[in-house]
């Protein structure tokens, strides 16, 4: 009895001491990345990247950088008390095991501030995602997918710009 009890305890301790299954940002799969061209005078850009986590542990993205912009952030859209859609910075982005972070106009997106040059159709934007220990570089083609709709991102460069509703 005493022996099996000790064995059980030893097993439990061994299980608890195991490190959590390691999932890395570098093993995420990237689908359908694109960035919108900027309008004349516009210094903010927007990009969309679908990140699929096929690993058996969640991945939390804590860093986002681009050599083409001074600052890059994850943004979500939320509805405020007056029914107006507003963007909100998300300091980190967690992708559960087996799940996908889907980005699209009006939803989760990547926002680039102080672009060093305008984004033109055919350009390639470079993003670098980080989970604190590993990094994932992603090439994002600049594509004019909004030719039919409004090209401007809800957060305009002019302070008077009103945010508009979801696309
Ligand atoms: Cu935004």
Read off the pLDDT of residues 72-120 as tens digits, 9 standing for 90 and up: 999 998 888 888 888 999 999 999 999 999 999 989 999 999 999 999 9
Strand ranges inside 13-134, DSSP E: 29-35, 45-52, 59-61, 63-65, 69-79, 85-90, 93-95, 100-101, 109-115, 124-130
Q: Are 143 and 121 in contact (CB under 8 A)?
A: yes
DSSP assignment of 71-82 equals EEEEEEEEE-TT
Reported as a single tens digit per residue, the pLDDT across 12-27 is 555 565 555 579 999 9
Ligand 1 centroid–CA 9 distance in Å is 51
Residues with CB under 5 A from ligand 1 (ion): 75, 87, 111
Structural domains for the chain = 22-141 (2.60.40.1890)
> Is pLDDT at 164 greater than 90 in this prediction?
no
29-49 pLDDT tens trace:
999 999 999 999 999 999 999
pTM of the model: 0.75
Find the 54 Cα to ligand 1 centroid distance in Å: 27
Ligand 1 centroid to Cα of residue 31, in Å, is: 20
Instruction: Give me ligand 1 centre to Cα 35, in Å.
Output: 12
Contacts with 113 (C-beta within 8 Å, 6 or more apart), sequence order: 43, 44, 69, 70, 71, 72, 73
Kindly report the backbone phi and psi dihedral angles of residue 52, in degrees, each rounded to the nearest multiple of 5, phi listed first.
-105, 125
Q: Give the model's confidence band at 159: pLDDT under 50 very low, under 70 low, under 90 confident, else very high.
A: very low
């Amino acid at each position: 009895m005493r022996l099996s009890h000790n064995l059980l305890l030893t097993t439990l301790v061994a299980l608890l001491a195991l490190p959590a299954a390691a999932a890395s940002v570098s093993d995420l799969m990237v689908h359908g990345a694109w960035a919108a061209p900027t309008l004349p005078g516009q210094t903010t850009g927007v990009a969309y990247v679908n990140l699929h986590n096929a690993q058996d542990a969640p991945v939390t993205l804590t860093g986002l950088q681009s050599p083409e912009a001074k600052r890059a952030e994850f943004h979500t859209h939320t509805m405020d008390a007056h029914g107006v859609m507003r963007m909100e910075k998300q300091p980190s982005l967690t992708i559960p095991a087996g799940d996908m972070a889907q980005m699209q106009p009006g939803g989760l997106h990547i926002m680039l501030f102080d672009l060093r040059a305008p984004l033109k159709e055919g350009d390639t934007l470079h993003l670098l995602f980080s989970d604190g220990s590993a990094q994932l570089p992603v090439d994002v083609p600049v594509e004019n997918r909004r030719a039919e709709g409004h090209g401007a991102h809800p957060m305009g460069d002019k302070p008077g710009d009103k945010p508009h509703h979801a696309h």
